[in-house]
Amino acid sequence: MTNRTAFITGASRGIGRACAVALASAGARVAVAARNQALLDDLTAELKSKGHEAFAVPIDMSSSDSIKEAMAKTAKDFGAIQILVNNAATTRDGLAMRMKKEDWDAVISTNLTGAFLAIQQVLPSMLRERWGRIINISSVVGEMGNPGQANYVASKAGLIGLTKAIAQEMGSRSVTVNAVAPGFIETDMTAPLSQELKDNMIGHIALKRVGKPEEVAAVVRFLASDDAAYITGHVLDVNGGLYM
């Protein structure tokens, strides 16, 4: 993927950051997007110090205007986006019976609607080039469910449906659309969980350990490559055997 331009949302930390590093190491020019400009600046400085091309742009995935502005700025100042990694996500957990509508709306808006709007922004140039890679980061809970996360689960399950729909629409133009469904990965999002909860989760994982962001990023790097040219509409699980 040498000189391909990749755009990664939620790139300031965790899986998104690992994806940026992995794609850059594979030769891509990476545009990293998130709300935290300071963390993005640190990441781009690190990538540039290793000889990679990197571009930082602030983005709020709950705002259609922010998504349009960030992606237009990237296309204008850094290059047309050929690889899109929809990784940004938020959580507002709570039992469905007591979940506030604003908590439902906030998660669906960022995790699902934001991803859809980002896809809309890159499709015209991908169609013109007759080449593109769209990779949506879903979740194991989007496949198996999880109590207390009706909004998050619905958003991640929705991403799987969105992946398959866009894959069917874009396949004739050599644009592939796939989803990656990580399991229990060691990130800032899972760090606050109690050790008891972590141990219980590990007990259900066939490999008996949590995953690393780099292990998810390696799969994203593969799906973005020419080696994955005949894979589209697929959900690739990276969960250590938590769900089969």
Q: Could you give the residue numbers annotated as active site?
A: 152
Output the CA–CA distances (angstroms, integers) from residue 197 to 39, 90, 201, 207, 243, in the order listed: 29, 20, 6, 17, 17
| 3-state SS class at 3 | coil
203: how many CB neighbours lie within 10 A of its CB? Answer: 8
| In contact, 84 and 28? CB cutoff 8 Å | no
Output the CA–CA distances (angstroms, integers) from residue 230 to 88, 165, 173, 208, in the order listed: 26, 17, 12, 32
Q: How far apart are the first and last CA of the chain?
A: 31
